[in-house]
Amino acid sequence: MNARVALQLTGVERHYGQGETTLSILKGADFVLRSGETVALVAPSGTGKSTMLHIAGLLERPDAGEVLINGVSCGSLSDERRTAIRRNDIGFVYQFHHLLPEFTALENIMMPQLISGLTKAEASERAAALLDYMRIGHRGDHRPSELSGGEQQRVAIARAVANAPLVLLADEPTGNLDPETAGYVFQALEALVRQSGLAAMIATHNHDLASIMDRRVTMEDGKIVELR
């Protein structure tokens, strides 16, 4: 019994021009991520993790190959359609939180829901529930600058899943945190992913954190390979 494929990459290529030379970062990367599955992406700096996550998250277009979200091939879609898929089906967490500084934690989590057409009351209720789940319910009225690094990242994670996406992509979400904080933020993230049954791919340098995921993959010669 296989869960549905939430995210699929086939033959994804990305090359950067550097003056006379071309830097080939992705050279035919293939990848399948199913609903309910968690995958750690563990690879050294400069191997193309961010590039791959940005392409998977429809933030960039590949030079060749396909990105399928929930079976829909996204390459030939208009920017408008890609934005809609990104908004509804994909949650993205960055290494730095990227929260809106002038809004409170609660409002930051409400924002994507309001854009998707939920009422203020609905968005606020779900945002509060997510803050509670991340154990920062008492921080809802605070602005990002009034929160610790670990709290900021938990708000960013809550915001990423606010619209109940199909796929969560996280690019070294605990990379800026001290080891202890990184541990509990990562565990909170993992618990949330498990509870909601979404598919998650998380880039991390931390092997302990990676070990609690279902699968581990790395980047090798521009391809994604399974770690056993």
51 binds Mg ion (CB under 5 A): no
Radius of gyration of the chain (CA): 17
Position among 21, 45, 78, 145 found at the interface with ligand ADP (CB under 6 A): 45
49 binds ligand ADP (CB under 6 A): yes
Task: Give the whole-angstrom CA distance, residue 122 versus residue 113.
Answer: 8
9 binds ligand ADP (CB under 6 A): no
51 binds ligand ADP (CB under 6 A): yes
Q: In what order do the strands lie in the sheet with 21-34?
A: 21-34, 5-18, 64-69, 72-73
Tell me which residue of 175, 176, 178, 165 sits closest to 210, measured CA to CA. 175
**3-state class (DSSP) for residue 32:** strand
47 binds ligand ADP (CB under 6 A): yes
**3-state class (DSSP) for residue 63:** coil
204 binds ligand ADP (CB under 6 A): no
Position among 8, 38, 50, 113 found at the interface with Mg ion (CB under 5 A): 50
Position among 3, 46, 119, 135 found at the interface with ligand ADP (CB under 6 A): 46
- The total number of residues written for the chain in this structure: 228
Q: Which is nearer to ligand ADP, 37 or 172 (CB)?
A: 172
Confirm if 10 and 30 have CB atoms less than 8 A apart: yes
Q: Least separation, in Å, of the C-beta of 23 and ligand ADP?
A: 6
Q: Which residue is nearest to Mg ion (CB)?
A: 50
174 binds Mg ion (CB under 5 A): no
Q: Least separation, in Å, of the C-beta of 79 and Mg ion?
A: 24
Q: SS3 for 196-214, per residue? A: HCCEEEEECCCHHHHCCCC
* Total of chain residues touching ligand ADP, rule CB under 6 A: 11
* Total of chain residues touching Mg ion, rule CB under 5 A: 2
**3-state class (DSSP) for residue 121:** helix
Residues contacting 11, CB < 8 A, separation 6+: 28, 29, 30, 64, 65, 66
Stretch that binds ligand ADP, among 49-57, 118-126, 157-165, 181-189 (CB under 6 A): 49-57
Point out which residues bind Mg ion (CB under 5 A): 49-50
